[in-house]
Amino acid sequence: MSDHFKDLLYANALINTTNNFVPINVTRHPSKFPADKVVEALKLQKVMNILLYKAIKDHATYEISTMDEIYNMLVKMKRTNNKKKLTLIYMRTDYLLNKDYVLKQVEINTISVAFVELNPRLNKVHSVEHKNVWLPENMPKFVQMVTLVRDSFIETNGYNDVIALLLDDNTSLQSANFFEKKNLIFELAAKGITMLHVTAKDIEIKGVFENDKFIYDGKCVFFVYLRYFYNYDHHDDNIMELRRRIENSDAVTLPSIELQIIGLKMFQVIFESKDVLRKYLSDAQVKSIYDHFGDFKNIKDYQTGDENTYILKSMREGGNTIITEDFQNYINEPDKYFLMKKIDSITVSNRFYTEKDDVDMILELGVLGTLIEYDGNVILNEPSGFICRSKKKGSNECGVTCNYGGLDSVYKN
């Protein structure tokens, strides 16, 4: 690894603040991944946005009989205030490209969507030494989204001098992806939007709920962006009550409880049904996305030998959620695990920045999407950039923070 490259990582705040302030794991150079498949995934995202939007509006989404702890908890916290409120979807759809050159979904993410800001910083670092590196518009799109939310909030509610909150479990320098969070705040500040990095304890001290208003430190809150609270054990009674109160205020949350519900892994299995998809999408839309869904089955349908062709996925969010052996130990927990058919992915030649030689790696493409709706009118529906992460061939996990994978770039042609 050249000192120059490492210096560029430090200069661009690509730093893991939870691990001795070393650079976060990244690839040494861009990967050669088919550019036309990136374009295809970006086009698919508009349909994915609509799918989630329609499912959010379906009462049946919140009436599923399951023992899944987080689903049942979230349903109890969803908004009960009937006052009209902006619907905001911001999500990431993750794909692998199989050897038949078909994009296959790995999962969708609707809460704590990370690396929106950090990945473009790596793209710029790679572009110092390589030509035609793709520089996606993640940040301009994110800022555009928050600006639209603010303007719509002011117009519909008549409030002025509003602020946004980035709600986290920890606001210290040791917070996961600390520099990304701060850079998001700086980018918004450059456009005249104040976003404060706060914890639930801060809101307990400085927050007030008056009728439909959420007031923090004397100012009306228009937007609450969650970078935590994605698992059941992140919630206690106080957090649950706080989220209920925020949901029932005029403040727009990202994600809303409804969006977090529809992003749960259990819906990957539900959306595999064409009958379910046809409730929300036209035949043409179903046809455009169906072949890109993964192949799933209930753990109760496990058969001897499934370990050869399936992985076992936990319903939990975050890393360390994939199991590859001894499936029989989990067949009595269908509300915690499900089976996903392995994807035989193409490989790219690359290496992590700390290593000397290129090896076969697998690139995972994460496409960002935004949809904003108010009173039945879709104000915005578009792809909002993408991130790339690569892992070594044979690795099941692609988590960057835990060093299973690394942020990556692709060429535009």
152 to each of 126, 251, 364, how far by Cα in Å? 37, 11, 34
In this structure, what are the phi and psi dihedrals at residue 90, rounded to the nearest 5 degrees? Answer: -140, 120
- Give the DSSP letter string of 4-32: HHHHHHHHTT-EETTTTTEEPPBBSS-B-
Task: Tell me whether residue 343 is annotated as binding.
Answer: yes
Across residues 295-309, what is the average pLDDT? 86
pLDDT, tens digit (0-9, with 9 covering 90-100), for 63-88? 999 888 999 999 999 999 999 999 99
CATH (residue range 4-294+343-412): 3.40.50.1760
Task: Tell me whether residue 258 is annotated as binding.
Answer: no
- Asked if residues 224 and 167 have their Cβ atoms less than 8 Å apart, the reply is yes
Task: Tell me whether residue 92 is annotated as binding.
Answer: yes
Task: Tell me whether residue 187 is annotated as binding.
Answer: no
Q: Give one word for 404, left, alpha or beta, with left for phi > 0 and alpha for psi -120 to 50.
A: alpha
CA 178/CA 21 separation, integer angstroms: 11
Flag the least confident range among 12-26, 187-201, 252-266, 399-413. Answer: 399-413
Using a pLDDT cut of 90, give the percent of the chain over it.
78
Task: Tell me whether residue 109 is annotated as binding.
Answer: yes
Given pLDDT bands bounded at 50, 70 and 90, which one contains residue 2?
low
Given pLDDT bands bounded at 50, 70 and 90, which one contains residue 275?
very high
Task: Tell me whether residue 137 is annotated as binding.
Answer: no
Mean pLDDT score across all residues of the chain: 93
Task: Tell me whether residue 340 is annotated as binding.
Answer: yes
Task: Tell me whether residue 307 is annotated as binding.
Answer: no
CA 303/CA 328 separation, integer angstroms: 9
CA 107/CA 89 separation, integer angstroms: 16
Report pLDDT for 402.
60
Task: Tell me whether residue 342 is annotated as binding.
Answer: yes
Task: Tell me whether residue 397 is annotated as binding.
Answer: yes
In this structure, what are the phi and psi dihedrals at residue 175, rounded to the nearest 5 degrees? Answer: -60, 140
Domain boundaries, the chain: 4-294+343-412, 295-342
